[in-house]
A and B are shown apart, each in its own frame.
Chain A
């Protein structure tokens, strides 16, 4: 299991990402979708990286997905599992996995959204077994 002592750095928030982090504080994982080409992208940008349109809008992810890949950083003071999770909305996001025994993590396993607290008391999105 992940040790409770793992210390998560605070997120870096800027004008473009502020709505995302405000969503996280409220327990919501927001994604950006382009109204011009209809594609979702991540990390969220004001200009769609697929078609270049500036007509992008936020919507709420269902917070469900599966593990695309992962690795356990074994040499860190508190080992942790970094992962890419492919959300059911189609984008793959970098995250950490919590609530797993490291040796039982499998690529393809279903996971769901969870939250941890950062060093500065902010919420951070992670994923746990579905």
Chain B
């Protein structure tokens, strides 16, 4: 019997640009919004719920509702960094189930390349209370992820060569994506011989910096029935914030332990049921630790799991990020959660590139990470099913 879902993803759209010179941030949000609505077969006037995060200009939903010309009865601007958009899907499902809206639009856009802002510089902290105790020590995003990698290597013997396999798999997929920023396949040797950015992470362990964006349209079961069989079921969700806990923490674990357990529990599924995963890949280490925390392999065995080639579509048992992911395709606005959901939707519709499409893909997991796993992070997991799942 087909599984029931409280809501469906009816529209998904990824902006084709990787360098948005000449386009405003609001314009990019509007372009992805219209793209996702077209994909869903809906009109802008159908939207009654709008979701955006800190990448949106001005006061977020307030400013964008006017720019887009939306007539809303539900708005949500939850900000958990790059994981925000998976949280938005989860919140949209809940809002739809509660009758607060029936067509929820979620947008992301950014133009760090056009603005000349790399994600690799020292972090901007604003007035966050941790700032005084961290900023003087120069914590760059990559050095914070690097410390998680270093600890994982210390505790479990994970090697740079094993981490490199994550990038190798992403590059195998990206060669088929004409929009991907990095389309050349790379070897383990290419990765470990690329310059060290922050020990133990090399340049090719890091994701790209790109402009662009993406949007999703989440709808009620009643509306999904009118839209045909391209709608994707949201079967489970989980979210958490993991942080330094007053100075008592474990950098070899992420919030995926909690968010994954909650999502699998709601869906009534286990890791072995999943045909395809989209895993946030800001860095190779992000993927390796997340796979362990979600239960796809034993804790500490992620290195072995990825170096067995398991992430490569058509080769391994758990194809991941078949668009090339953040490591090779794009990382719009330095926020990779949105594109994780979009590629999972493509897989469940059977609309991924034929060279990387997972045969009979029925159940997928998308996972988002926000902030940094070396300090405080948002973690959000979605379990999605195809129309016949």
List residues of chain A with CB under 8 Å of any chain B CB. Answer: 8-14, 16-17, 21, 39-43, 45, 48-50, 68-76, 80, 82-84, 90-96, 102, 107-108, 118, 124
Contact = CB atoms under 8 A, between A and B. Distances in A.
Find the residue from A72, A73, A90 having the highest chain B CB count within 10 A. Answer: A73
A69 B147 contact: yes
B267 interface: no
B287 to A, nearest CB: 18
A91 B199 contact: no
B136 interface: yes
B69 interface: no
Contacts of A124: 136
Nearest to B153: A107
**Main SS class of interface, A:** loop
Given A69-B148, A73-B198, A74-B196, A96 B137 contact: yes
Interface residues of B, number: 35
A74 B137 contact: no
B140 interface: yes
Contact of A40 (B142, B151, B200, B247): B247
Interface in B111-150: 120, 129-140, 142-143, 146-148, 150
Contacts of A9: 135-136
A79 B120 CA distance: 14
Nearest to B143: A71
Contacts of A84: 147, 251
A72 B137 contact: no
Contacts of B244: 92
B248 interface: yes
A12 B196 contact: no
Contacts of B97: none
Nearest to A87: B247
Contacts of B140: 73, 76
A70 B248 contact: no
A75 B202 CA distance: 11
A43 B133 CA distance: 7
A107 B150 contact: yes
Find the residue from B140, B244, B246 having the highest chain A CB count within 10 A. Answer: B246
Contacts of A41: 246-248
A75 B248 CA distance: 30
B245 interface: yes
B147 A8 contact: no
B119 to A, nearest CB: 13
A72 B132 contact: no
A14 B130 CA distance: 11
B136 A118 contact: yes
B138 A95 contact: no
Given A11-B132, A73-B198, A92-B249, A80 B138 contact: yes
A60 to B, nearest CB: 16
A82 B145 CA distance: 12
Contact of B147 (A11, A12, A71): A71
B132 A12 contact: yes
A68 B152 CA distance: 11
Contact of A83 (B147, B197, B248): B147
A88 B330 CA distance: 43
A57 to B, nearest CB: 15
Nearest to A40: B247
Find the residue from B137, B138, B247 having the highest chain A CB count within 10 A. Answer: B247
